[in-house]
């Protein structure tokens, strides 16, 4: 048997593990948590589009797949990457 307070609740009235409720509350801290999660997602997207995560990802790839290869500095990596793009622009507009 359920208590009277539990019987009156609906699925949309309380926070769930699936995400925020209709009024924006979440199980992990409320509206502020939703804003923080959205901000982190936006920052992740923008840094990905701008290529900020490319060098660390390349270094991780080199260490994993080619452990004997020398790891270039960030400056060397970007210089080589831009030189390769200039040599073969592919589908770039300019």
Split at pLDDT 50, 70, 90, the class of 87 is confident
Distance (Å, whole) CA 39 – CA 44: 9
**Gap between the terminal Cα atoms of the chain:** 70
Split at pLDDT 50, 70, 90, the class of 51 is confident
Residues 15 and 25: beta-carbon distance below 8 Å: yes
- What's the DSSP call for residue 24? S
- Mean pLDDT within 23-49: 84
**pLDDT above 70 for 27:** no
Q: What is the pTM of this model?
A: 0.52
**pLDDT above 60 for 54:** yes
């Amino acid at each position: 048997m359920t208590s009277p307070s539990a019987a009156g609740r609906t699925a949309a009235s309380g926070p769930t593990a699936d995400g925020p409720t209709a009024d924006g509350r979440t199980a992990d801290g409320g509206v502020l948590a939703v804003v923080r999660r959205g901000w982190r997602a936006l920052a992740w997207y923008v840094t990905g589009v701008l290529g900020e995560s490319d060098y660390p990802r390349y270094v991780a790839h080199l260490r994993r797949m080619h452990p004997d290869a020398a790891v270039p500095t960030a400056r060397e990596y970007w210089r080589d990457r831009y030189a390769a793009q200039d040599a073969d622009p592919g589908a770039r507009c300019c």
